Amino acid sequence: MGDFFSALADIFSSPTMYGSAVRLGGFIAFAALGELVAEKAGTINISVEGSLLAGAFLGAIGYDLTGSTPLGLMTGIVGGLLVALIQANMSHRLTADQFVVGLTANILVLGLAGFLNGILDPATRRASVLEIPVLSDIPLIGPALFGQTWPTYLLYPLIPLTWWLLYRTRWGLEVRAVGENPQASDVSGIDVNKRRRQAIYYGGMLAGLGGGFLVLGQVGSFDTAAVGGRGFIAIAAVYFGSWTLFGTLLGALVFGFADAFRLAVPVLGYKLNAQMLAALPYVLTLVVMYAITKRFRQPAALAQPFVRGLR
Amino acid sequence: MIDAGTEPDADAHLLNRRWRSAAEMTLLYVLSIGGALLISAVLVAITGNSWQKVFGALLDGAFRAPGRWGNTLTVAAPMLLVALGMVIGVKAGLFNIGQEGQLLMGAMAMAFVGTKMDGPGAILVLGGLALGMAAGGAYAFVAALMRFRRGVPEVISTLLLVFIAFQIIGFAVTTDWVLRDLDPNRPSRAVTSAALPDDVHLPVVRAFGNEFPIGVIFALALAVFVAYFLARTVWGFRFRLLGHNPRVAQKTGIAAIRTGSTALFLSGAFAGLAGAVMLSGGSSGYRLTTGFSTNIGWQGLLVALLARGRPLVCIPMAILFASLRTGAGFLASTGVDRRIVDVVQALLVLALLMPPAIAFIRDRRRALASSEEG
Amino acid sequence: MARLGGTNGDASVLLELRGMTKRFGDVVACDDVDLTLRQGEIHGILGENGAGKSTLMKMVIGLALPDKGTLYIDGERCRVTDPLQAAARGIGMVHQHYSLVDALTVWENVALGEKGGLDKESTRQRVISISERYGLDVDPDARVGELTAGVRQRVEIIKCLRHGPRILILDEPTSVLTSTESEHLFEVLGEGVRGEGWAVALVSHKLDEILQATDRITIMRDGRVVQRVMTADAEAASLARAMVGRPVTLRSGSAAIGAVSDSDLVAAARHASEDGAPVLEIEDASLIAEDGEVLLDGLSLQVHPGEIVGVAGVEGNGQTPLSRMLSSLLRLDGGRVIVAGNEVPSGVAGAMAEAGIAVIPADRHHSGCVLEMSVAENLILSRLSEVEDRGVLRRDEIRARATKLIEEFDIHTPGPDTPLGQLSGGNQQRVVLARALSDRPKVLVAAQPTRGLDVGAIEYIGERLRAAADDGIGVLLLSTDLGEIAALADRIVVMFRGRIIGEMTRAELDLERLGLLIGGSSEAETAA
């Protein structure tokens, strides 16, 4: 255990740790921002995992075909959106159970990505690092936040954009309303399930972009195991943040740190149990959810389907 | 307003409508399953293979080739067990989707009993199965604690526990003092537990040139038992009451925390049993490995969802899913990646979800009609 | 039947409906209904629950599409397919109390369901100006969930007026209001009608308010218009007959349509024994919600065997938490509950039922019945231990018990195995009642037991409650309907903000004083 604490001190003063925390947390943050919007509208969008993977795979394919990172990221968005289309239309047009649909969509994507990856085997490369002058010179957090590959920076404008959408537009007002009280929203003339579908689309696109970022901005290559449950951590980040934008981001960053810690430990020469480290983000998520969930109010109609006349 | 239905006209009308809706449902099922198969066929065709060949290979692998249907049943048994556990949870309103992890815990308990304890084989098998159930149940119980003490949705906690289970198994089979195989002559350098000794294997049933472990019979018997349990016993009634209306349950003395935790425990116990049955039935050579669960947990979950909570319907669904898996073993000859089977499965699930969802909307509209206040 | 309105080319006609018909499956909700709304008039649409009033209004507002019939606005033929379109045409509807989102602020709620960009400042200004103009006092930045029922109603009205409608539809607007608030509402409507030339449709099942507030009345029954009269020529007894389709005799039935006077009440006063020990005592009960809202605030009351204690009060003053607490659904933060001398822990599954408290909840779908289970299962679910044999349910016993109760309580169902969800609301309520009474409780709590039912069912439930009290059960009747309370209760207490603020026996009943108490005036003020 002594090892563990000296490792902690060492690791938390290591600049690489902060860099990788932002990369890993950033990946989760893309998905979590979108998931926040979907949950605000009343859906626990389990298929965010599938959207991430689809985004990663189609991002890789897009890059392989065009050789362009921006185009690859765009095909990634399309991939995330495709999964969201399945999720949204099956759960909020046909009223199939949202968890069943989400799980199945995840399995479908995993199967398809594995199957097609074997055939197409896309070649990819990591985008170049873009150091933002001045800002990247701040010690510790400077390089972490502003010394990353350029797709990382796409996250930054998405934060105010998502905030603005949720809290300053009519669309966002309606999204929040349908997540709180679908019956009242319906009576007020809002197409509840349409808003919910749109919120899922938004979530899917952001997750798709996150998947693209994973392949093109972080790892540099595609692997079917690359997402490996991080979508679920994105969901946990939303819980962590108790459905606030800032809290969600903080959650993503905390999980990013946990992930980075796992990677940093062996690099710095410490011997800690590998499985324990790998389980750390998940354990942390559970502990945090246990500590936090009851204290905050979730959207009142979260995970409740809406059919007119049925409560 | 519901009339007692005494008028012959009304009866005829109702009957007519039932026929029509049955016909509609059949058509919907045919269309959606056909659609799923069509997409699968297109995928196969894109890769330059013939879907007829693929279909033939799947059938051979699942049933036609010698000894294959026994294999299919062997795979179906743990899926069925997982599905039965899922059904119990769903009836009580609890959506346990962590079976993959609970199954691993059950298998680990079996491995522990089988490789680390001494005693007569039969006792060890039974002890291993029992401990497997307890381990799977206890693992699910963590989610129950989180749900009933702090309101953490079990959908998310059970899911996260799966990823932790992977690591626990990884730890167990790579750590000497836990389960790692210490035999220097172990078959490969892969990390596994020691194999279960011969006397700690489930007895094998041989019939018509096929063989399968007796676990298959257990699973079928349990399906019948679970159906009876849920429909006819007091505990089953309590689970259903809790699942349909937890407030009425609380009012009449069925505490969610106790009954729900029991349901979630049972749900996990079935997955744990599935893991124990797999290991003692010969999966991966009677050895616990890191990839031991091979998605049986996820697929059992889907089986339950497709059976829409009916334990007996889980039986054909489990056989269908198992046959896709065993059939996939024969795909190599056609040159098609066996992962196509995962895609077909998921597409089938989506297809099978559709007709009831459509019917629900239709029924809802009708029900709304007759209960609409004016 | 003479048609009073409905002339083409009459400029005062703002809205005309002709031959509106709507079927839901085999049920005809509206059958060839004609209706005319004129400028400067309040038009009462009177009918029982289920008469087709709300469906008719939903078709006007675009929430339901007619199967047949035409709608003319300003003499022009129109098709309205959604509420926004209706708003654009100048039609606004004030819903009962379910179009507001608690988590949003007043201004956000008012903005909900509009089109175009979201402009906080201008929306707030509009809220303020409308609220000043019509005397609808409300803070635009308050969170709706924190407002009382009366203020929420104001928000509903502002939400409706924001579109500047000329045609206003109010669906049972007074069900959540105190009498003072109702009067204020009718004043606002009267001003709008006179000052701005609105046409108002007031949908209600209450004779008294229809007579008080309207200029013209259309009575509906079973989806059809059965009578049209000018209010000045109308007379309560004949309206009641037209609305129900037969003379209304029973007191609870008359109460249901607001046809009760003070003198009736006193004459019918009953003398329940208040001697001896109370069967239910609630002492100083307090309950605080997770968000800090005080739900019960030192509430104390007693119920004796054989008496009906009516708890009067406007919705949202703690009735629901009280009934849920007595169903073991909520745990008290202070105080205690004593049944027949024994203290009962709150919030412990089944403890209240075990002690002898049966509850008919206001929302039967919430904690009254299980729609997905069969009628028989619903009837026996509280007595499982009596129908099992070593853990296995005895199906013949369940069936026998269910069949007996179905007969005894005259429940209309195809059979005991029919899912409860397939029964009508009235029959579901009978199932809830049958189970509650078959538990042989010491205390029966009935919260809004007749809401949404037709007069026949209301009469039936009233009789049953009376009979239960006569059998020595202590009955606690929670109702927002003064008529219902006045018709049934032996003793009346008034609940306001989670406390009991006044009490009177049947003999002392004074509707005016009761009305003031319900509005929150303290005992001292009203006595003066």
- Condensed to tens digits (0 to 9), the pLDDT of residues B66-83 reads 778 888 888 999 999 999
Residue A269 has pLDDT above 80, yes or no: no
The closest of A279, A245, A214, A267 to A26, measured between CA atoms, is A214
Between residues C53 and A209, the one the model is more confident about: A209
ipTM over 0.90: no
SS3 state at B345? helix
* Minimal CA separation from A127 to chain C, in Å: 38
Token pair listed for C416: 């005991």
Share of chain C above pLDDT 90, in %: 31
From the number of C-beta atoms within 10 Å of its C-beta (0-12, 13-18, 19+), residue A140 rates as: middle
Partner residue facing B372 (CB), from C24, C377, C423: C24
| Beta-carbon separation of B233 and C414 below 8 A | no
Mean pLDDT within B5-16: 54
- DSSP-based three-state secondary structure for C309: strand
Q: Which helix (H) or strand (E) holds C493?
A: strand C491-496
Q: Residue B91 — pLDDT band, cuts 50, 70, 90?
A: very high
Cβ-nearest to C393 among B234, B245, B374:
B234
pLDDT given for residue B367 in this prediction? 55
Question: C118 at the A interface (CB within 8 A)?
Answer: yes
Average pLDDT, integer, range B24-51: 86
User: What is the band of C325 on the pLDDT scale with cuts at 50, 70, 90?
Assistant: very high
- A184/C101 CB distance under 8 A: yes
Beta strands C27-38 and C13-24 are antiparallel
pLDDT-derived band at B14, boundaries 50, 70, 90: low
Look up tokens 């959606």; give the residue. B32
Tell me which DSSP letter residue C528 carries: -
Q: A5-19, B195-209, C60-74, C431-445: which range is least confident on average? A: A5-19
Residue B252 with chain C: CB contacts under 8 Å: 350, 353, 381-382, 384
Mean pLDDT for C449-456 is 78
Q: Do C223 and B368 touch (CB under 8 A)?
A: no
Distances (CA, A) of A228 to A37, A78, A120, A285, B160: 22, 20, 21, 15, 11
User: Does the CB of C381 have a partner CB in chain B at under 8 Å?
Assistant: yes
Highest mean pLDDT among A184-188, B233-237, B295-299, C256-260: B233-237
The pLDDT score that the predictor gives to residue B6 is 40
Interchain contact B345–A (C-beta under 8 A): yes
DSSP summary character for residue C34: E
Residue closest to C436 by CA, chosen among C407, C405, C403: C405
pLDDT tens digit sequence for A35-91: 999 999 999 999 999 999 999 999 999 999 998 989 999 999 999 999 999 999 999
Q: What is the DSSP string of A27-90?
A: HHHHHHHHHHHHHHTT---TTHHHHHHHHHHHHHHHHHHH--HHHHHHHHHHHHHHHHHHHHHH
Confidence of residue A117 (pLDDT cuts 50, 70, 90): confident
Distance from CA of B369 to the nearest CA of C (A): 4
Q: Determine what percent of chain B is predicted with pLDDT higher than 70.
A: 91
Considering only the beta carbons, identify the residue of C47, C329, C391 that sits closest to B247: C329
Please state the rounded mean pLDDT for residues A97-109: 89
For residue A178, give how far its alpha carbon lies from the nearest alpha carbon of chain B (Å): 19
- What is the secondary structure of B2-28 as a DSSP string? -----SHHHHHHHHHHHHHHHHHHHHH
Q: Which CA distances in Å does B300 have to A103, B97, B161, C361?
A: 12, 10, 17, 40
The C-alpha atoms of residue C160 and residue C180 are separated, in whole angstroms, by 21
**Residue C150 corresponds to which tokens in the numbers above?**
């009366």
The phi, psi pair for C6, rounded to 5°, reads 75, 60
Q: Of chain B residues 289-328, which have a CB less than 8 A from chain A?
A: 298, 301-302, 305
- Report yes or no: C347 at the A interface, CB cutoff 8 Å: no
Measure the CA–CA gap between A295 and A260, rounded to whole angstroms: 28
Q: What is the pLDDT of residue B187?
A: 63
Nearest residue to C102 (alpha-carbon basis) of A305, A36, A182: A182
Q: Hey, which of B77-86, C183-192, C272-281 has the most confident mean pLDDT? A: B77-86
Determine the average pLDDT of the residues in B142-155.
Answer: 87
Residues of A with Cβ-Cβ distance to B153 under 8 angstroms? 44, 303
Residue position matching structure tokens 């009516």? C310
Q: In one letter, which amino acid is C300?
A: S
| CA–CA dist B317, B307 (Å, integer) | 7
- β-sheet with C280-288: strand ranges across: C294-303, C280-288, C334-339, C342-344
User: 């924190």: which residue's tokens?
Assistant: C146
Query: With bands split at pLDDT 50, 70 and 90, how would you rate the model's confidence at C25?
Result: low
Does the distance separating the beta carbons of C327 and B247 come in below 8 Å?
yes
* Residue C224 near chain B (CB below 8 Å): no
Tell whether A173 lies on the interface with C, counting CB pairs under 8 A.
yes
Find chains touching chain A: ≥3 CB pairs under 8 Å: B, C
C395/C507: higher pLDDT: C395
What's the token pair of residue B152?
């953490």
Query: Residue B26 pLDDT more than 90?
Result: no
Banded pLDDT at B4 (limits 50, 70, 90): very low
Q: Assess contact for B153 and A44: CB atoms under 8 A.
A: yes
Check CB contact of C163 with chain A, cutoff 8 Å: no
The answer to whether B255 contacts C25, with C-beta atoms less than 8 Å apart, is no
Interface residue A244 vs chain C (CB under 8 A): no
CA A191 to chain centre: 27
A152 touches chain C (CB under 8 A): no
State mean pLDDT over C505-520.
Answer: 79
DSSP H or E stretch at residue A177: helix A170-180
3-state secondary structure of C72: strand
CB pair distance less than 8 Å for C391 and B247:
no
Work out the minimum CA distance from A45 to partner chain B, whole angstroms. 11
Residue C26: band (very low, low, confident or very high) from pLDDT cuts 50, 70, 90: low
**Cα–Cα dist C420/C304, whole Å:** 33
Task: Report pTM.
Answer: 0.84
Flag if B346 and A108 touch (Cβ within 8 Å). yes
Distance CA A160, CA A164 (A): 6
What pLDDT is stored for residue C271 in this prediction?
47
Looking at beta carbons, which residues of chain A come within 8 Å of C100? Answer: 181, 184
CA-CA-CA-CA torsion for C430, C436, C438, C439, nearest 10 degrees? Answer: 170
The pLDDT value recorded for residue A168 is 92
CB contact under 8 A, B238 and C384: yes
Residue of C21, C24, C365 for testing the chain B interface, max B β-carbons within 10 Å: C24
Do A300 and C102 count as a contact with CB atoms less than 8 A apart? yes
User: Taking a C-beta distance cutoff of 8 angstroms, is the pair C36, C13 a contact?
Assistant: yes
Confidence (pLDDT) at C133: 84
Nearest to B163 among A96, A229, A308 (CB): A229
Burial B314-341 (b: 16+ CB within 10 A, else e): bbebbbbbbbbbbbbbbbeebebbbbbb
Closest C-alpha to C146, from C94, C101, C95, C97: C101
DSSP annotation of A307: B
Distance from CA of B211 to the nearest CA of C (A): 36
What are the beta bridge partners of residue A149?
A129
CB-nearest to A185 from C87, C101, C114 is C101
CB atoms within 10 A of CB C273: 11
Q: Which of A14-23, A159-168, B129-138 has the lowest mean pLDDT?
A: A14-23
| DSSP β-bridge partners for residue C23 | C28
**Contact (Cβ atoms closer than 8 angstroms) between residue A11 and residue A17:** yes
CB A251 within 8 A of CB A265: no
More confident residue, B264 or A300: B264
- Whether C366 contacts chain A with CB within 8 A: no
Sequence-ordered alpha helix ranges (H) in C257-391: 262-267, 319-325, 351-355, 364-367, 375-380
By percentage, how much of chain A surpasses pLDDT 70? 93
Please state, in angstroms and as integers, the Cα–Cα distance from residue B183 to each residue in B123, B188, B191, following that order: 24, 11, 12
CB contact under 8 A, B374 and C29: yes
* Average pLDDT, rounded, for chain A: 86
Which range has the worst mean pLDDT, B52-56, C29-33, C95-99? C95-99
Query: Is the Cβ pair C367, B245 closer than 8 Å?
Result: yes
Q: How many Å apart are CA C433 and CA A287, to the nearest integer?
A: 45
Helix axes B68-91, B215-232, angle to 10 degrees: 30
Q: What is the pLDDT of residues A126-148, one digit of tens each?
A: 777 777 777 777 776 777 777 77
Q: Which amino acid, one-letter code, is at B38?
A: L
Note whether C277 contacts A: Cβ–Cβ < 8 A.
no
> Is residue C65 within 8 angstroms of chain B, CB to CB?
no
Closest residue, chain A, to C82 (C-alpha)? A189
Do the chains contact at A184 and C98, CB–CB below 8 Å?
Answer: yes
Cβ-defined contact of A275 to B353 (cutoff 8 Å): no
Task: Tell me which range, A295-299, C59-63, C176-180, C401-405, is most confidently predicted by mean pLDDT.
Answer: C401-405
Residue with tokens 């994973």: A214
> What distance in Å separates the CA atoms of residue C191 and residue C46, rounded to the nearest whole number?
22
Q: Could you give the CA distance from residue B115 to residue C17 in angstroms, rounded to a whole number?
A: 83
For A57-61, A111-115, A233-237, B305-309, which range has the lowest pLDDT when averaged over its residues?
B305-309
How far away is chain C from the Cα of B217, in angstroms, using its nearest Cα?
A: 24
pLDDT, one tens digit per residue, over C209-230 is: 888 889 999 999 888 999 999 9
Which of the four pLDDT bands, split at 50, 70 and 90, describes residue B262? very high
- Asked if residue C81 lies in contact with residue C62, where contact means CB atoms within 8 angstroms, the answer is yes
Which of A172, A173, A183 is the closest to C98 by Cβ?
Answer: A183
| B368 closest CB neighbour out of A108, A232, A309 | A309
Q: Which residue has the tokens 């309105």?
A: C5
**C349 and B250 Cβ atoms separated by less than 8 Å:** yes
Among A173, A244, A296, the strongest candidate for a mutation testing the C interface, having the largest count of C CBs within 10 A, is A173
Give the separation between CA A31 and CA C232, rounded to whole angstroms.
Answer: 66
Please report the pLDDT score of residue C259 as a whole number.
58
Q: Which two tokens stand for residue A223?
A: 């692997």
To the nearest whole angstrom, how far is the Cα of C260 from the nearest Cα of chain A? 34
Contacts of B358 in chain A (CB under 8 A): 94
Is C11 in a helix, a strand, or coil?
coil
Is residue B228 less than 8 Å (CB to CB) from chain A? Answer: no
